[in-house]
Amino acid sequence: MPKPKPVNWGLIDNNNNSELYDFVNEILRKYHGGEKGIEGVNFLLMWRYNIKTDQDGYILLSSITKSSDQARELYPHDVIIGLNKDAWSILDDQQKAVVIDSQLERIAICYDKNGDIREDDQSRTIYRLRRTELLDELTLQRRHGLTLHEVQEYVHDKFEKAGAEEGSYIADVLSGKEPEIPKNIKKQDIEEDDEEMEYDDEEGLQQVLDGE
Rounded Cα distance between 136 and 143, Å, is 11
Q: Which amino acid is present at 100?
A: I
Element (H, E) at 64: strand 62-66
pLDDT in tens, 140-149: 999 999 999 9
What was the pLDDT predicted at 205? 58
What was the pLDDT predicted at 26? 97
Give me the sign of the Cα torsion angle 201, 202, 208, 212. negative
pLDDT in tens, 128-170: 999 887 788 999 999 999 999 999 999 988 887 744 455 455 5
Please answer whether residues 100 and 24 qualify as being in contact, where contact means their C-beta atoms are separated by less than 8 angstroms: yes
- The candidate with the shortest Cα–Cα distance to 127, out of 52, 188, 65, 182, is 65
Rounded Cα distance between 151 and 132, Å, is 16
What was the pLDDT predicted at 5? 81
What was the pLDDT predicted at 18? 96
Residues lower than pLDDT 70 in the chain: 162-212
